[in-house]
Amino acid sequence: MNVAAIVVGSVVGMTAGHRLPDRVRLVVTDALGLVTLLVAALAAVDVTAPSLRAAVGPGVPVLVVLGSLVIGGITGAALGLERRLQALAGQLQRAAAQRWPGSGQGTAGVDGGQARLRFIEGWLTTSLLFCVGPLTVLGSLSDGLGQGIDQLVLKSMLDLFASLAFAATFGVGVLFSAVSVAVVQGGLTVLGWALGAVISPAQIAALTAVGGVLLVGLALRLLRLREVPVADLLPALLVAPLLVAAVAGLR
């Protein structure tokens, strides 16, 4: 359902996108950046969750988030995740150029470079936005745990309108984020099914709070304030639950 919503929104956005002047696209991107900040704040506030504070102790949740970002950032930078994702996006862009010539590399070198950067930015931005957030984690895990799909229904509606707006600005790269959503959310759903009640509320809270901070970095990119290498920070999402378990075990 979520993948279908993104595909529909992307196709509509790509179809109507050429009718929007550049100034309108910039305003839409700014609006999405501001809304992303709002979503980030709502996610990051989970650092104050009672379950997390009870598991690691007062004052420690912020340190858990900080430690997760530092360790995850070092790991991601060492692995070159941002560079590898950009290279993968470039390959997807070249494949898309054969199917959608208007979104391809263009006839001139400058046009080709701009088209490639536009595709990469669209794919990375929307993939991170759709895959790094509280509804992604909580909705997919709830689905896997058999607790219903209410959160995923809400996320699908939000992603429908977001993909429409982004596709009008970035083009076909947004459509390929549906693949990212299928892989990430599908994996999280299977994880929730496999692990059952093993993942504690404290670990989910830490993971969600870290995801909120990553969304802040994404919002800064959307607002053209700073090119934060958000992809290099993605391992922090894996580090956060492990740190919570480690700290809780030492208490």
| Residue 95: predicted pLDDT | 64
- Average pLDDT, integer, range 182-198: 84
Q: What span, in angstroms and rounded, lies between the C-alpha atoms of 106 and 92?
A: 15
Please state which of the ranges 24-38, 66-80, 83-97, 214-228 shows the lowest mean pLDDT: 83-97
- Average pLDDT, integer, range 194-223: 83
Domain ranges of the chain: 2-250
Q: What value does the mean pLDDT of the chain take?
A: 82
CB under 8 Å to 38, separation ≥6 — which residues? none
Q: What span, in angstroms and rounded, lies between the C-alpha atoms of 152 and 184?
A: 13
| Residue 153: predicted pLDDT | 85
| Residue 105: predicted pLDDT | 42
Tokens of 6: 């993104």
Q: Distance from CA of residue 186 to its chain's centroid?
A: 14
- Average pLDDT, integer, range 54-64: 93
Q: What is the pLDDT of residues 86-111, one digit of tens each?
A: 777 667 666 655 655 554 444 344 45
Q: What is the 3-state secondary structure (H, E, C) of 177-235?
A: HHHHHHHHHHHHHHHHHHHHHHCCHHHHHHHHHHHHHHHHHHHHHHCCCCCCCHHHHCC
The residue ranking higher by pLDDT, 238 or 195, is: 238
Supply the DSSP string of 131-192, one letter for each residue.
HSSHHHHHHHHHHHTTS-SHHHHHHHHHHHHHHHHHHHHHTTHHHHHHHHHHHHHHHHHHHH
| Residue 89: predicted pLDDT | 64
pTM over 0.85: no
